[in-house]
Chains A and B, each alone.
Chain A
Amino acid sequence: MVLPLPLLRTIEESGFSTWLRESESPFAFYFVLLFHTFGLALLVGANAVIDLRLLGIEREIPLAPLKRLFGIMWLGFAINAASGVLLLIAYPTKELTNPVFYTKLALVGFAVWVMTTLKSRVFDDPTLNEAAMIARGRTLAKWSLVLWIGVITAGRLLAYTYTYLTFPS
């Protein structure tokens, strides 16, 4: 793949990117990063509860009301999409030259697809009883857990595997 290298440089040299990256203010880079972690907690935490329940823990938790958790997942997703774009503006070269970044995006794509499928196939059909919900949701729940753990792992690896931190001069 050919990267639009001049674009990376332009973004990185912009005032906003430089401020995010280099400002001493506690409301710059680390502020964005903490929201990215808040979003992770909401998105993956809520997914984990539904997945584990579908996989058989605490069967006395009624499944249907857990539908409300999808609101929390989307809130977490929105926070992370927004904070993710800001992190990308701060370090475009670092992220876009690292294959792990694209792996993470692909994993997020799959995980969100599993999440929406879980909602539409299992939680949006009021005719299903719990046994039917579990029968439909079990495999999706397994994939959901695996994919979100994969997303977290890829995200963590981004901090340790980059080739260029900023655009090479």
Chain B
Amino acid sequence: MNLAHLHLVLNHFPIIGTIIGLGLLVVSFAGKNDDLKRAGLIVLAAVALLALPTFFSGIGAQGAVRRDPAVSAALIERHEGAAMLALFFMEIAGALALVGLWKLYRGSTGRRWSPTSIAILFFSVATAGLMARVGTTGGDIRHPEIRLAVTGAQESGLSALVHVLEPSPARFTDLMLISKWWWAFMMDLHFIGLALLIGTVGILNLRMLGFAKQLPVAPLHRLTPWAMGGFGINALTGVLAFIGMPNYYTFDVAFWLKMLALLLLGLNVAAFYLTDAFQSVEHLGPGEDAPLLAKFFAATSLVLWFAVIALGRYIQSFTDTISVQ
């Protein structure tokens, strides 16, 4: 298996997942159903996480396909620009979905047309449309039977309008490398985000494992938005760093293991909230012990977050450990 396989496996999830998440949301609005709304938001957040490795694997797929003379570099570039625009909308939709899930949990279900709900609907509709274009432009690279124009450079109608908004991948890359101070600033934020994330997630996990048992769990759990904030800073600076040096990260085994650990953390969070583990610790008071299942999720969370740190540090040492083919 190479990165082109990975790209082909992953690339259906953001497109179809966005439509499913959006569909659930729309139905939940029509029927005022909070469970459906929650399901839709979970799907959007999960798809936003999956969209990251999907985007990252595109550079590897490009490396594999570029040597074929029948493949047009212009079509690949158009697909990449479309993917960048869609990714940013997808990540905003995913972040808003997490905000929405948090608000649902905190019990503010009264207003259907809250600003958050409207923003989630807007960004997921826009993402669904942009993802359709990402899929079409991606298909054009390898499927001449669906290609309208031979070069694919001509755009018309709505796609011409969207194309104006799509970044040029090469120019975006240059922009990220414009100054070492900008790069240092992004990396600085990445480490500050790390400290915020590990501090807030870590104390909750440690409490569940029995550390500082005098602390009640519920108010510690309310630190979650700070952890999300730390993760948001790091997702953004991480994506920008990738765009700045795509080849540095793409052909690096430590980078991909870090992505794997992040996906496992996504599963860990989902399993924690969707099994009864969360309910079993939600109202633990001072001195009370967490059940074994909750301890298991707390331990895996800590191990995986420290694995993410370790693998991030090994990226520099493992560059060029993945061959193009």
Q: Which residues of A contact B (CB under 8 A)?
A: 26, 29-30, 33-34, 37-38, 40-42, 44-49, 52, 57-58, 60-62, 64-66, 68-69, 72, 148-149, 152-153, 155-157, 159-160
CB distance from B121 to the nearest CB of A (A): 30
Distance A64 CA – B226 CA, assembled complex (angstroms): 21
**When A26-B314, A156-B187 are in contact, do A45 and B196 touch as well, CB less than 8 Å?**
yes
- Whether A34 lies near B212 (C-beta < 8 A) is no
Residue from the list B220, B222, B310 in contact with A34, Cβ < 8 A: B310
- Whether B188 lies near A45 (C-beta < 8 A) is no
* Residues of chain A lying within 8 A (CB to CB) of residue B198: 41-42, 45
Q: Pick out which of these stretches binds chain A: B90-98, B138-146, B199-207, B240-248.
A: B199-207
Q: Which residues of B contact A (CB under 8 A)?
A: 180-181, 183-184, 187-188, 191-192, 194-200, 202-203, 206, 211-212, 214-216, 218-220, 222-223, 226, 286, 306, 309-310, 312-314, 316-317
Given contacts A34-B310, A52-B226, A57-B226, 11 further A-B contacts (CB under 8 A): A26-B314, A37-B309, A40-B191, A61-B223, A65-B214, A65-B215, A66-B215, A69-B203, A155-B191, A156-B184, A160-B183
- Whether B187 lies near A62 (C-beta < 8 A) is no
- Whether B313 lies near A37 (C-beta < 8 A) is yes
- Whether A152 lies near B191 (C-beta < 8 A) is yes
- Whether A60 lies near B314 (C-beta < 8 A) is no
Instruction: Point out which of B200, B203, B223, B316 has the most chain A C-beta atoms below 10 A from its C-beta.
Output: B203
* Residues of chain B lying within 8 A (CB to CB) of residue A149: 192
Distance A30 CA – B183 CA, assembled complex (angstroms): 20
- Whether A33 lies near B199 (C-beta < 8 A) is no
Residue from the list A26, A38, A42, A58 in contact with B222, Cβ < 8 A: A58
- Whether A160 lies near B202 (C-beta < 8 A) is no
Please, which residue of chain A has its CB at the minimum distance from the CB of B188? Answer: A156
* Residues of chain B lying within 8 A (CB to CB) of residue A26: 314, 317
- Whether B309 lies near A38 (C-beta < 8 A) is yes
CB distance from B176 to the nearest CB of A (A): 14
* Residues of chain B lying within 8 A (CB to CB) of residue A37: 191, 194, 309-310, 312-313
CB distance from B181 to the nearest CB of A (A): 8
* Residues of chain B lying within 8 A (CB to CB) of residue A41: 194-195, 198-199, 202, 306, 309
* Residues of chain A lying within 8 A (CB to CB) of residue B188: 152-153, 156-157
Residue from the list A46, A61, A160 in contact with B199, Cβ < 8 A: A46
- Whether B314 lies near A152 (C-beta < 8 A) is no
Please, which residue of chain A has its CB at the minimum distance from the CB of B202? Answer: A45
- Whether B195 lies near A58 (C-beta < 8 A) is no
- Whether A38 lies near B306 (C-beta < 8 A) is yes
Q: Which 4 A-B pairs have the closest CB atoms?
A: A45-B199, A65-B214, A60-B219, A44-B195
* Residues of chain B lying within 8 A (CB to CB) of residue A30: 313-314, 316-317
Distance A93 CA – B219 CA, assembled complex (angstroms): 47
CB distance from B240 to the nearest CB of A (A): 15
Residue from the list A46, A62, A64, A160 in contact with B203, Cβ < 8 A: A46
Please, which residue of chain B has its CB at the minimum distance from the CB of A61? Answer: B219
CB distance from B232 to the nearest CB of A (A): 16
* Residues of chain A lying within 8 A (CB to CB) of residue B184: 156-157, 159-160
Distance A131 CA – B75 CA, assembled complex (angstroms): 63
* Residues of chain A lying within 8 A (CB to CB) of residue B310: 34, 37-38
Please, which residue of chain A has its CB at the minimum distance from the CB of B201? Answer: A45
